[in-house]
Amino acid sequence: RTSLGEAPGSAAEATLRVVDMPFEATESLETRADSERVRFRLPLFDAEQPIGAISLDWPSGNEAPEDGGRALRVLSTAAGAALAHHLRIEDLRQTIRARDDVLSVVAHDLQNPINVISLAANSLLHRLPDASARRSLDRIVRGAQRASRMVRDLQEVSAIETGRFVV
């Protein structure tokens, strides 16, 4: 549940809330009254999809306006757009976190096989007397070193983005 805007007041004041908590969405205004409050609630839509609600509450001891829903209708378009924008930003943040998590895991998992390739190629490189055979192994060693640097760069980017980077 996200509250984008809330104007709490004292017991004698009205309260305005915009939330992304879905409820049974109808296009009509819902009015409820109990011993403590009078509530006007209107669903918010984004591209005809219900995304939240805007509500206006009055303490029951105070006189609520006869058409408290009119204020909500005026605010609902802007509140719906603001809530939809907020939800899209949150979705993007979650997507970026998921991407960063995958990159971090991939970088970590690639480091071990690259190390094995590098160690095996270096070991063979020092044992071979033939210069032409060593050239091929030397290319493998250089390729493994480049791959290792790329993986290290990925790990450093991940550490920077998550705040774990130490200089």
pLDDT at 9 over 50: no
Asked whether the beta carbons of 39 and 55 are under 8 A apart, the reply is yes
pLDDT, tens only, 94-120: 998 888 888 888 888 999 999 999 999
pLDDT at 23 over 60: no
pLDDT, tens only, 32-79: 767 677 677 778 878 777 788 877 777 766 665 666 667 677 777 788
The HSE-up count of residue 22 (CA atoms within 13 Å, CB side) is: 10
Residue 132: phi, psi to the nearest 5? -70, -35
pLDDT at 156 over 70: yes
pLDDT, tens only, 119-148: 999 999 889 888 888 898 999 999 999 999
Query: Distance (Å, rounded) from C-alpha 103 to C-alpha 25?
Result: 39
Residue 31: phi, psi to the nearest 5? -120, 130
pTM score > 0.85 for this model? no
Residue 62's pLDDT is: 60
